[in-house]
Amino acid sequence: MNEYKYAKFDVVPLKGHPVLNEKWVQARIADDPSILGLGDLILKDRERRQPHAGRLDLLLQDSDSGDRFEVEIQLGRTDESHIIRTIEYWDIEKKRYPQYDHTAVIVAENVTSRFLNVIGLFNGVIPLVALQMNALKWQDHVTLVFTKVLDQMTLGFEEEEEESDVADRAYWNKRGTPATVAVVDQALGMVHSFAPQFELKYNKFYIGLAVNGQANNFVLFKPKKRWLRAEFKMPRTEEIEAQIEQAGLDLIDYSKWGRYLLRLNKEDLKKHEAFLIELMKKAYSESGS
């Protein structure tokens, strides 16, 4: 059995340190962005020049989703200018590259309660993460520890707001067409082949499924003017994507909400009925029902 020896680490204040300065911290994060604890991130840029606004310390990007993180580092306590600068750089990058999701990240040695309250006012409107940083020393070794003291608020998906965003069939006949809404009825018939208890639930953002008014949107529908967008909630796998491709169906994308987005029409539901039912069954089983 291995024995572990306790070692006491000393906290090293970084502000004013002759060697362990902001450039040193920046270099450690740039070398290994994963130390921030924000996922599998890749360094996109360092000291990124901002038009008329100085330089962004670090621009990081998620290796899978492509989401970007605008990271500002401050030694010592957070202050007003640091928060404003972080939000300003986030806003510039977001406007320059709107195809990505962006998160502002504040890194400081001391994120005070006062500024947590201020930052919290923006959270949910501006995606913000605050990380408190400590440099720990043992003998001639120094490491950095990052603690998330304010997490990005996860904005609710439409299906979480169903009660306040209810609609009806007439609404969707106008937003889509009676013909594309009728394709939803056809899709509901497929659901009924294995789960006859479900009915349609009309909301402003989509047409979902429910049992006795209780939503279970393992598949949901968004009628367009000429076609139907169907979203199947399930983990992303190469196998499923290959099956969709082999079936000849139009795969729009895999959303950040964990859904396969398919473009369907009346003919697709007839031609690929068996495959679509199997896809619905898989989504249904993944929902835990």
- pLDDT tens for each residue of the chain, 289 residues long: 567 888 888 898 988 899 999 999 999 999 999 999 998 888 989 999 888 778 999 999 987 778 899 999 999 888 878 888 888 999 999 999 888 889 999 999 888 777 777 766 666 678 888 899 999 998 889 999 999 887 765 444 444 444 446 889 999 999 899 999 999 999 999 999 999 999 999 988 899 999 988 899 999 999 999 999 999 999 999 999 999 999 999 999 898 788 999 999 999 999 999 999 999 999 999 886 6
User: In 3D, which of 59, 124, 277, 249 has the Cα closest to residue 188?
Assistant: 277
Query: What CATH number is given to the structural domain containing 171?
Result: 3.90.1150.20
- Looking at the fold, whether 125 and 19 belong to one and the same domain comes out as yes
Share of the chain above pLDDT 90, in %: 56
Range of the domain at 102: 10-150
Spatial contact of 147 and 123, defined as CB atoms under 8 Å apart: no
Domain endpoint, select from 150, 180, 215 = 150
Residue with tokens 């190469």: 238
- Looking at the fold, whether 199 and 230 belong to one and the same domain comes out as yes
- Looking at the fold, whether 56 and 19 belong to one and the same domain comes out as yes
- Looking at the fold, whether 165 and 142 belong to one and the same domain comes out as no
Stated as kind and residue range, the H or E segment containing 47 is strand 41-49
pLDDT in tens, 96-127: 988 888 999 999 988 877 777 776 666 667 88
pLDDT in tens, 65-99: 788 999 999 998 888 788 888 889 999 999 998 88
Alpha helices in 22-100 (DSSP H): 22-31, 80-96
Query: What CATH number is given to the structural domain containing 14?
Result: 3.40.1350.10
Domain endpoint, select from 150, 177, 201 = 150
Q: Please give the pLDDT value at position 289.
A: 60
Q: Cα–Cα distance between 89 and 17 in angstroms, integer? A: 26
How far from the centroid of its chain's Cα atoms is residue 113's Cα?
26
- Looking at the fold, whether 14 and 127 belong to one and the same domain comes out as yes
Q: Residue 93, exposed/middle/buried by CB under 10 A (0-12, 13-18, 19+)?
A: buried
How far from the centroid of its chain's Cα atoms is residue 100's Cα?
11
- Looking at the fold, whether 201 and 132 belong to one and the same domain comes out as no
- Looking at the fold, whether 262 and 186 belong to one and the same domain comes out as yes
Whether 2 is in a domain gets the answer no
- Looking at the fold, whether 145 and 226 belong to one and the same domain comes out as no
Q: Please give the pLDDT value at position 269.
A: 95
- Looking at the fold, whether 75 and 162 belong to one and the same domain comes out as no
Whether 203 is in a domain gets the answer yes
Domain endpoint, select from 150, 176, 198 = 150
Q: Cα–Cα distance between 138 and 170 in angstroms, integer? A: 69
Whether 1 is in a domain gets the answer no
Number of domains in the chain: 2
What is the value of pTM for the model shown? 0.54
- Looking at the fold, whether 199 and 282 belong to one and the same domain comes out as yes
- Looking at the fold, whether 136 and 240 belong to one and the same domain comes out as no
- Looking at the fold, whether 49 and 98 belong to one and the same domain comes out as yes
